[in-house]
Amino acid sequence: MLCHFCEQDKEGLPFRCNYCGNYFCSDHRLPENHACPKVGGPKQPGYARVRGAERDAKRPRFALPAVRSNRSRFRITYPRVFSKTEEKHILLATALMILVGFGMVYGIPGVISNALLLIVFILGFAFSFIGHELAHKFFAQRHGLWAEFRTNIYGIVITAMSIILPFKFLAPGQVNVIGNGSKAVLGGIALIGPLFNIVLGWLIFSFVRVLGIGFGLASLSAFNGWLGLFNLIPFATFDGLKVFEWDKMRWAVATAASAALLIVSYFFA
């Protein structure tokens, strides 16, 4: 089968683009490398010299493909935020994170028996995790970089084990970023996820303190504090290593804010 972009038969097993549905060789399998008409991927060095790139010069840096709904007589068009593969990965990761979250609040009276409170915790844990990953994704796309969430087998296994363990591992996957970005851009992409949890967690904590609401809702702010602090560990592929290498002062401030949120949520809420 010929590559749809370079029209060469480079290998026997082609790759299918999740966006445009065409088949490409390994060199052009990513959206930004075959000037995907459904995405309009980032412009890499030498991109303007690639076949067909001239006619895409006026295309937005990262236009989301449209999806049509046939559920009504009016054909509604709305943007697809995730590819089909990414949707499966983020749904699996979100389900695991909700279970880990309930592992943190297990033992608080009424959490499981109260239907309304149960829904609040499910939505709170899901929003905290998805918001973290979307912050990475959208910030990367804003700088013209390709970004999609993917789980990994080791992260899934360890996260699943931590549901019943006292130490909670909150990394079932990560947003993979592809493209040329400066150290500041890559550091900003890494920082924006924990920053989302820091801001959300302090808002939840303030809401609980000001209104005097109980029912263990401070556990949601603690969950955000731990999610931010855990990801800021400067190790391996965690966000913290990229932030630490970019700006140690920003890393220290974000880490201190996450740790403080975690402490006050447990002892002062």
> Predicted confidence band at 74 (pLDDT cuts at 50, 70, 90)?
very low
Instruction: Tokens for 67, please give them.
Output: 């999806």
Beta strands in 60-217 (DSSP E): 66-69, 76-79, 146-151, 173-178
Q: Who contacts 1 (Cβ-Cβ below 8 Å, separation ≥6)? A: 9, 14, 23
Q: Using an 8 Å Cβ cutoff, are 148 and 138 in contact?
A: no
- Looking at residue 11, its pLDDT comes to 56
Give residue-wise pLDDT tens across range 83-116: 889 999 999 999 999 999 988 877 666 566 678 8
**Predicted confidence band of residue 12 (pLDDT cuts 50, 70, 90):** low
pLDDT at 91: 96
Q: What is the average pLDDT value for the chain, to the nearest integer? A: 81
Residue 174 in this model has a pLDDT that exceeds 90: yes
Domains of the chain in start order, with CATH, are 1-80 (4.10.1110), 84-267 (no CATH)
Of the two residues 74 and 34, the one the predictor is more confident about is: 34
Cα separation, 1 vs 24, in Å, equals: 9
pLDDT tens, position by position, 15-58? 778 778 787 787 777 877 777 776 654 444 444 444 444 444 44
Q: Rounded to two decimals, what is the model's pTM?
A: 0.70
